[in-house]
Amino acid sequence: MTRIYSNEVTLDTAGETVHLQGWVQKRRDLGGLIFIDLRDKNGLIQVVFNPDVSKEALTIADKIRTEYVVDIKGTVKKRDEKQVNKNIESGEIEVYAEEIEILAKAKTPPFQVSDDNINEDTRLKYRYIDLRRPKLQNILKTRSIINKAVRDFLAEEDFMDIETPVLSKSTPEGARDYLVPSRVHPGEFYALPQSPQIYKQLLMLSGMERYYQIVKCFRDEDLRADRQPEFTQIDIEKSFTDQEDIIDMNERLIQYVMKTVKGLDIPAPFPRITYEDAMARYGVDKPDTRFGLELQNLNEFSSTADFKVFKAAVEAGGSVKAIVVPGAAPDYSRKDIDKLEAFVKNYGAKGLAWMKVNEEGMQGPIAKFFDDSKKQELTETLSLNTDDLILFVADKDSVVHAALGNLRNKLGKDLGLVDKDQFNFIWVTDWPLFEYDEDLGRYFAAHHPFTSPKREDIDKLETAPHEVKANAYDIVLNGYELGGGSIRISDAELQERMFRALGFTDEERDSQFGFLIEAFQYGAPPHGGIAYGLDRFVMLLTGSDNIRDVIAFPKTQNASDLMMDAPSVVSREQLKELHIDVEVEKD
């Protein structure tokens, strides 16, 4: 008899004999009758052991416990109207067992699969039990559907799925590499790829023209809720293309995935915003556009005010910006605002100035610094109404943006302004080509050193690098960077100029990228692409709060695997073979 799943047992199968296999989620002994909830990958079904049907099956059922694996054959019966369980798909029927075989016994598990309130460390230590929970199984099913949708779309677009090496060369890509020592080359190391960036460019130089890969990448960096040391990218590259072509193709890809996975028709073209406008209006380069509370510039107002804190910030080349929270003044006490001030200090702000608007006018610690005419100017500039709460930060631009941008996101969530069922895709374009590190006194590539500058800015590479814009674009979903890409440099001379602008010596350039520079000498087509964070995409489409829930076997916050107990100490013999001597400092 062919095995069937719980969701295939319906009223239409009443009276039929069925073959079920799965785990015992719950067992109830009602004295003479035993009921179990049998769980498989598609759901739950109730099985009844009745001595009038099979005394032998009842005897065996008396021995089974939670998480035993069993094989059951029995007859489907319709439940009495009062016994219908509307909480499960098979709730209108039950199976009366005629035969049962215990396939595997189980110790009492450290937690019940039906329990959603489990300590995360416990869940990760016993991940194989945690993954039995329907919530995680549904997430991984969705992940699989997303993978297939991406592959189906790109196959139709004539892209080739090509694997690239995992053991590669260490090159500067913005994060620390994971290094792998070579046994046959003493003292030398491979690096695990932070991305397939160089390989996919070499594939374009090889004439592949359309490449993609769903690939593991590795970055040795501090973790957070949406970051893991090993993560999965949807990596895409195309030859003979430009930015508009890449954006159009990727909008169609997103539309196909969203329709396939969520049944949603996402309108295109997606809105676009420049990096400069994103920072000015939202304070972050990945704005959540599902709600308002945009940052408003008060430099002109502050430059003529008598309030020294505001005026000094503008005179020092910084800015004063505000967030207006409509109607929130009565709901925020001084204590509540103090908590907001403590929050923005995490982002470098020295403080959080504020005022409230009421029937009498403006109140707050800084209200006394503005006369009636300045208050009227502020009212008109910010379009203020009674009961509005105004929050100000004055400092250098980077601090103002970080403080208010993150405060905006916090307020959006705290005030319930975010529609969790809404999916807002936007493009952020015209990125700076370089970032300046004040501590090191030098420029770094904002994306990577192969990103092409805007044609009109090429002459500024050596003279005004801070003004150079990149042919780069990020796709943002609900405040998360979903993917990023660029049109690449395909001219060998321009690539060498880029390395010089980044401060590479000829020796450093040749040592780290000599093979790529040489490859460019043999004819490089114009090319560009994009890479999506698959884990983050799954997290957003499944409504998960933590990226660890969308990965089958994730690492903890400190990059440990509690289930495998990794990383771990290895034997001296293994280290000796790799020509490594380890010294661990003791406290």
Question: Which residues make up each annotated binding site for L-aspartate?
Answer: 173, 219, 447, 488
Measure CA 230 to chain center. Answer: 13
Binding-site residue ranges: 173, 219-221, 228, 447, 481, 488, 533-536
C-alpha angle 228-233-234 in degrees, rounded to nearest 5: 155
Residue spans of alpha helices (H) in 264-414: 275-282, 299-303, 308-315, 334-345, 372-382, 397-414
DSSP string, 197-242: HHHHHHHHHTT--EEEEEEEEE-B---BTTB-SEEEEEEEEEES--
Taking the C-alpha atoms of residue 89 and residue 433, their distance in angstroms, rounded to an integer, is 54
CB atoms within 10 A of CB 43: 19
Taking the C-alpha atoms of residue 178 and residue 93, their distance in angstroms, rounded to an integer, is 54
Look up tokens 């990059």; give the residue.
Answer: 559
3 state SS of 478 = coil
| Structure token pair of residue 181 | 């020592």
**For 87, which DSSP code?**
T
Binding-site residue ranges for ATP: 219-221, 228, 481, 533-536
Residue 36 backbone dihedrals phi, psi, to 5 degrees = -130, 150
3 state SS of 119 = coil
Taking the C-alpha atoms of residue 322 and residue 299, their distance in angstroms, rounded to an integer, is 10
DSSP string, 134-188: HHHHHHHHHHHHHHHHHHHHHHHTT-EE----SSB----SSSBPPEEE-SSSTT-
| Structure token pair of residue 73 | 């054959």
> What does the buried/exposed string (b/e) look like for 512-526 if buried means 16 or more CB atoms within 10 Å of the residue's CB?
bbeebeebbeeebeb
User: Pick from 520, 552, 559, 516: which is nearest to 535 by CA?
Assistant: 552
Beta-sheet pairing, 189-191 with 179-181: antiparallel
